[in-house]
Amino acid sequence: QVQLLESGGGLVKPGGSLRLSCVVSGFTFSDYYMSWIRQAPEKGLEWVSCISGDSNYRQDADFVKGRFTVSRDNAKNSLYLQMNSLTAEDTAIYYCVRGGPAFGSDWGRGSLVTVS
Amino acid sequence: EIVLTQSPVTLSLSPGERATLSCRASRTVKSNSLIWYQQKPGQAPRLLMYGASSRATGIPDRFSGSGSGTDFTLTISGLEPEDFALYYCQQYSSSLGWTFGQGTRVEIK
């Protein structure tokens, strides 16, 4: 079955960087758009970025402002989110999601990023 | 920017009752880009409906979606204990990406 497993979250100081990874299985990774969605503690959902299967198309939320970069390695069935210049407002659970550009069909369990 | 407003914020119902959740957009949304998710405490969201009215794989038929333009509805025709959860609507636009509503919590009365 479809599985998505995020890693790389943790505690980072303001201004710092973090790289999230998501390893997937159960489907042909290169056939699918992938997305990152985040959820601040006790808050709603917020779309971050998406990337096409061949990496030719990427789209970011306005708040990313060039700080975050989504990428993928189809040979490794892996999705990444490089996050730089982190602020407290970036504290959230980051979900790896199969799907895009329109919606996500399968979600990982998430990786908690705390900026403090 | 399209703003999605969900109402009510909280819906208090008993098992077996019908739940009607609303999602209103600040401007017209293409029906094929209106999505519903369910989220339970401590879990990731789960896709319920896409294209406003199509059920995702494995979603029971007590869940239905409808609407067009700026007004969309998710209906649960007879609440089961496992349906008490948080529900989000979402829309997609090629220029702005995904936008989520703030959520409706369906709680046990």
Among B residues 1-30, those touching chain A with beta carbons less than 8 Å apart: none
In which band, very low, low, confident or very high, does the pLDDT at B27 lie, cut at 50, 70 and 90? very high
Residue of B nearest to A47 (CA): B98
- State yes or no: pLDDT of B31 exceeds 80: no
The answer to whether A35 contacts B45, with C-beta atoms less than 8 Å apart, is: no
Cα–Cα–Cα angle for A48, A54, A56, rounded to 5 degrees: 65
Over pLDDT 90: what percentage of chain B? Answer: 91
Give the separation between CA B38 and CA A80, rounded to whole angstroms: 25
* Percentages of chain A per state (helix, strand, coil), in multiples of 5: 10, 55, 35
CA A85 to chain centre: 16
Q: What is the pLDDT of residue A81?
A: 98
Give the separation between CA A96 and CA A80, rounded to whole angstroms: 9
Low-confidence ranges of chain A (pLDDT < 70): none
Q: What is the pLDDT of residue B1?
A: 84
Question: Is A101 part of the contact surface with chain B (CB cutoff 8 Å)?
Answer: yes
pLDDT, chain B, mean? 95
The kind and range of the H/E element at A74 are: none
Chain B residues in contact with A51 (beta carbon < 8 A): none
Q: What amino acid occupies position B5?
A: T
- State yes or no: pLDDT of B46 exceeds 80: yes
Q: Out of B46, B98, B103, name the one closest to residue A47 (CB).
A: B98
- State yes or no: pLDDT of B49 exceeds 90: yes
Average the pLDDT over B64-72 and give the result: 96
**10 Å Cβ neighbour count for B47?**
23
